[in-house]
Every structure is written in structure tokens, then in C-alpha cells.
């Protein structure tokens, strides 16, 4: 988004950027998780018979812990990504059909629908209405959290 679109609407456009990023990264993160899980398949379980022995920890155990940690970190990132996408889907439920088309095509830039026949002025007005709706919903969420 260009800076001219921002100003007072900065939080909304930051959220839009987060939604776009989450949508774009979703497939990549799941592929990475699948790769990490494949790495785990080749490892034996942690050996407990060496507990208390003077022998040092095998490198296999530390590698296993490394990949388990990577999987855990990635799953938390995927969970956060999913939360952002679900927020966007929930937000779309309060919009009407025309607003959803503007939101998805122009703001999220997904171009799911074919070229829109609406004029530019109408699209700009719908964008402003969408932004106002988002601000009122986010204000309501903040008020609910503080209670």
C-alpha cells in the first residue's frame, strides 16, 4: 500500500498487509512443516539406557531435539497465521456482497472475481465504508477485552 492511502487508516492497512502476508505464506509454511516432519521420521527415539552413564549424549538426540524445536516454532507461526486469516474471514461476514468483492479484489488483491464494472468513485466509497466497519469492530473487540 502506498503512504497516500494510509494516514489515519494506518492500523487498518497494517492489518490488511498482515492478512495478505498470512495468505501468501500459508502454503509455504505447511510445506516447511511437512519437510521438518519428514526429517523426524529418520530418527530413533531418545535413548534412556544412557541416563546416569558417563557417556556423552549422542548427536542423534541433540539433532532430534533440534528438529522437534523447529517443528514447535513453526507450528506456533502457522497457528498465528491461521488466526489472522480467520479474522479476515470473520470480518467478511459483516460486509455485504459488493463490499466483499471490493475487499477481496482491491484490498487483498486476490482478483478472485472477474474485472469489476463498478466505477472508481463507488469503489473508493466502499473502501471507506469497509475501513469504518473494521475500526468499529476492532473498537468493540478492545472494549470486550478490557471488561
Question: pLDDT tens for residues 48-70?
Answer: 655 555 555 555 577 778 888 99
Answer whether residue 52 is part of any domain. Answer: no
Three cell numbers at 24?
501468501
Say whether both 105 and 117 belong to one domain.
yes
Say whether both 74 and 133 belong to one domain.
no
Say whether both 36 and 70 belong to one domain.
yes
Domain hosting 143: range is 97-147
Distance CA 50, CA 58 (A): 9
- Return the closest-CA partner of residue 127 out of 18, 21, 3, 6: 6
| Total domains, the chain | 2
Answer whether residue 143 is part of any domain. Answer: yes
Segments of the chain scoring below 70 in pLDDT: 1-6, 43-60, 110-118, 141-147
Summarised one tens digit per residue, pLDDT across range 65-74 is 888 899 999 9
Say whether both 140 and 87 belong to one domain.
no
DSSP 53: S
pTM: 0.70
Say whether both 14 and 71 belong to one domain.
yes
Amino acid at each position: 500500500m502506498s503512504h497516500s492511502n494510509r494516514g489515519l487508516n494506518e492500523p487498518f492497512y497494517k492489518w490488511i498487509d498482515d492478512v495478505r502476508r498470512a495468505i501468501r505464506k500459508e502454503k509455504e509454511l505447511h510445506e516447511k512443516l511437512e519437510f521438518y516432519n519428514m526429517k523426524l521420521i529418520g530418527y530413533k527415539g531418545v535413548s534412556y539406557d544412557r541416563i546416569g552413564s558417563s557417556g556423552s549424549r549422542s548427536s542423534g538426540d541433540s539433532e532430534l531435539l533440534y528438529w522437534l524445536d523447529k517443528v514447535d516454532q513453526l507450528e506456533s507461526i502457522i497457528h498465528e497465521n491461521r488466526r489472522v486469516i480467520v479474522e479476515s474471514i470473520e470480518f467478511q461476514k459483516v460486509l455485504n456482497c459488493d463490499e466483499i468483492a471490493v475487499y477481496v479484489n482491491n484490498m487483498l488483491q486476490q482478483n478472485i472475481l472477474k474485472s469489476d464494472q463498478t466505477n472508481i468513485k463507488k469503489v473508493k466509497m466502499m473502501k471507506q465504508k469497509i475501513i469504518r466497519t473494521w475500526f468499529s469492530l476492532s473498537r468493540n473487540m478492545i472494549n470486550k477485552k478490557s471488561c
